[in-house]
Amino acid sequence: MKNPSLKDTICAISTPVGEAGIGIVRLSGKKALRIADEIFMPKNGKRPSQLPGYTVHYGHIVRRSSFVNRESSTNHESRITNHEVIDEVLLTIMRAPKSYTKEDVIEINAHGGITCLRKILDLVVSKGGRLAEPGEFTKRAFLNGRIDLSQAEAVLDVITARTEAGLRAARRQLGGELSGLIRKITDAILEIQANAEASLDFPDEELQTFEYATIEVKLAEIIVELEQLLDGYQNGRVLREGITTVICGKANVGKSTLMNRFLKQKRVIVTPLPGTTRDAIEEIVNVRGIPLKIVDTAGIMHAEDEPSKEGVRRSKKYMESADLILLVLDSSDELTKEDIDSIDAVKDKKIVVIINKTDLPERLQINEVKKRLLNKKIIRISAKKDKSLNRLYDAIYNMIWSGSIDSSHQGALTNVRHAAAIEKALHHLESAKSGIADNIGMELIAVDLKDARNELGIIAGENFTGDLLDRIFSQFCIGK
């Protein structure tokens, strides 16, 4: 639905579909309390609309139906009301504006199970509720001014966080850390812009020179601050999306065996024959709290048939685009042309060299490997016997964090949309700064400053477009 109305009272099942101890149906909007009155039979006899916010009540969800009964002997008419009990529930009342959406919100804690929840939802709809779109509750929280857009995005990050570290970063953003920082910087730019515009009214040359100098200093400070934020983005992105880690090497060295170790299950086919893996296989794993998007690739080999050749081409593509390479060599085999091809393809990347099959007699020319991969971390393991995998996980962890990141500031910036806005703002600020160096007119500098502020405003969702909101909220689940 394009631009669904804010006037509707929306409803949804907010818990996952399937059997569960409890399930929650949620309503938000002007009619939420009235609908609750109609479908809830409270134990204490009080209607939800008469009760205060932040209270929970025990009772039943009932479908009321009434009909007129006429006594044929007396011709006397009476109205009879039937109550079909749908479920025994706890009903929570949150009154506007102290709720998730800033509207009246009702949450019905019913028994889990889709049939029961669907019945309650259908009943709510029959009383005037409208099925919510994905993320519509959160969208209302944004449109009603309870959170800004970056916080709304953080809600999604909290829900989808794959690791503790990712969750911490999302929670900080939800708490408004990024919003606060951006607001502070935007205010500082506004102050400079005001100075620049004021100096236009006083074209005294001495004063102008003074203003140029102060503005230059302040601008430089802001630029540094934004650059630092962008520097942290790479780490933030890692927390959010996972770092693309490609397992590569020649055929039969044990790449898929290693992949299965990461996944702690026999997910990928392993055989003693070279060329077992034909197509790349991607999975998300969690290594020491860091999400890795790990890719097992087809072994680098001289392939005869077209599918295998295509497999090798794909492997090379993955090797090019990887954030981190795990290059696997076979300790029990001599260094071959295919090993050297693999080494040459990845030696300039972030790489951990894995010497596998150390349970077998060693035939690999290790010194030759070291010579070709100077200063690269080399880890000896046996994937098959599950030996020294912990040392590999440590090496990956250290490689990613380089041991130098202050954990309290890890990734204040995690979102590509925010990073893009900051980059654009920086571009305008740099332009203002060089304008000052070139002594161009203050009015042009003021324009750049205003453009920079507009770009930063996009992060919090100022001047948002319907398309942007659709793009963001369509990623949410229904009921959030």
Ligand X SMILES: Nc1nc2c(ncn2[C@@H]2O[C@H](COP(=O)(O)OP(=O)(O)OP(=O)(O)O)[C@@H](O)[C@H]2O)c(=O)[nH]1
- Residue owning tokens 């490609």: 246
By a kind-dependent CB cut-off of 5 to 8 A, residue 357 interacts, out of Mg ion, ligand X, none, with: ligand X
Distance CA(43)–CA(297), nearest Å, equals 62
Residue 35 CA: distances (Å) to CA of 105, 107, 271: 11, 12, 62
Count CB atoms within 10 A of the CB of residue 377: 16
Write the DSSP string, 371-405: HHTTT-EEEE-BTTTTBSHHHHHHHHHHHHHTT--
Q: How far is the CB of 253 from Mg ion (least distance, A)?
A: 9
For the record, the structure tokens of 390 come out as 């912990």
Per rule CB under 6 A, is residue 252 in the interface with ligand X?
Answer: yes
Residue 274 binds ligand X (CB under 6 A): yes
Q: Which CB atom, from 102 or from 278, has the smaller least distance to Mg ion? A: 278
Residue 384 interacts with which of ligand X, Mg ion, none, CB < 5 to 8 Å by class: ligand X
From residue 296 to residue 335, the character string flagging contacts with ligand X as x (rule: CB under 6 A) and all else as - is --xx------------------------------------
Helix (H, G, I), strand (E, B) or coil at 125: helix
Residues that bind Mg ion (CB under 5 A): 255-256, 276-277
> Among the candidate windows 73-81, 169-177, 378-386, 407-415, which touches ligand X by CB under 6 A?
378-386
Residue 257 binding partner per list ligand X, Mg ion, none, with a CB distance cut-off of 5 to 8 Å that depends on partner kind? ligand X
Q: Check residue 151 for interaction with ligand X (CB under 6 A).
A: no
Q: Which is nearer to ligand X, 204 or 362 (CB)?
A: 362
What letter does residue 134 receive in the DSSP assignment? B
Instruction: Provide the β-strand partners of residue 355.
Output: 329, 380
Site string for ligand X, 110-139 (x = CB under 6 A): ------------------------------
Cis amide leading into 97 (omega within 30): yes
Do 60 and 38 touch, CB atoms closer than 8 A? no
Give CA–CA dist 444/425, Å, rounded: 15
Contact map string, positions 12 to 41, toward ligand X, x by CB under 6 A: ------------------------------
**Cα distance between residue 364 and residue 370, in whole Å:** 11
With CB under 6 A as the contact rule, the residue among 21, 52, 272, 403 that binds ligand X is 272
Least distance from C-beta 368 to Mg ion, angstroms?
A: 24
Which amino acid, residue 286? N
- Cβ atoms of 155 and 138 within 8 Å: the answer is yes
Q: CA torsion 397→400→406→409, rounded to 10°? A: -110
Pick the stretch among 116-124, 126-134, 147-155, 270-278 that binds ligand X (CB under 6 A): 270-278
Nearer to Mg ion, 250 or 255 (CB): 255
Residues 390-449 that bind ligand X (CB under 6 A): none
| Residue 123 contact, options ligand X, Mg ion, none, Cβ 5-8 Å cut-off depending on partner type | none
Query: What does DSSP assign to residue 128?
Result: T
The distance of closest approach from Cβ of residue 349 to ligand X in the complex, given in angstroms and rounded to an integer, is 19
- At 377, list the tokens: 């971390």
Q: Which does 94 bind (CB under 5 to 8 A by kind): ligand X, Mg ion, none?
A: none
| 276 belongs to the binding site for ligand X (CB under 6 A) | yes
CA distances from 102 to 9, 26, 99, 369 (A): 13, 14, 5, 63
The distance of closest approach from Cβ of residue 215 to ligand X in the complex, given in angstroms and rounded to an integer, is: 60
Nearer to ligand X, 310 or 430 (CB): 310
Least Å distance, CB 301 to Mg ion, is 11
* Cβ neighbour number for residue 299 with a 10 Å cutoff: 27
Tokens of 271: 């055989």
Candidate list 382, 410, 414, 415; residue touching ligand X; CB under 6 A: 382
255 binds ligand X (CB under 6 A): yes
> Residue 349, class by beta-carbon neighbours within 10 Å (0-12 exposed, 13-18 middle, 19+ buried)?
middle
Which helix (H) or strand (E) covers residue 62, if one does? Answer: strand 55-70
Given CA atoms 27, 32, 38, 41 in this order, what sign does their dihedral have?
Answer: positive
Question: From ligand X, Mg ion, none, which one binds at residue 383 (CB under 5 to 8 Å depending on kind)?
Answer: ligand X
Per-residue contact flags (x/-) with ligand X for residues 331 to 370, judged by CB under 6 A? -------------------------xx-xx----------
Interface residues toward ligand X, by CB under 6 A: 251-257, 270-272, 274-277, 298-299, 356-357, 359-360, 382-385
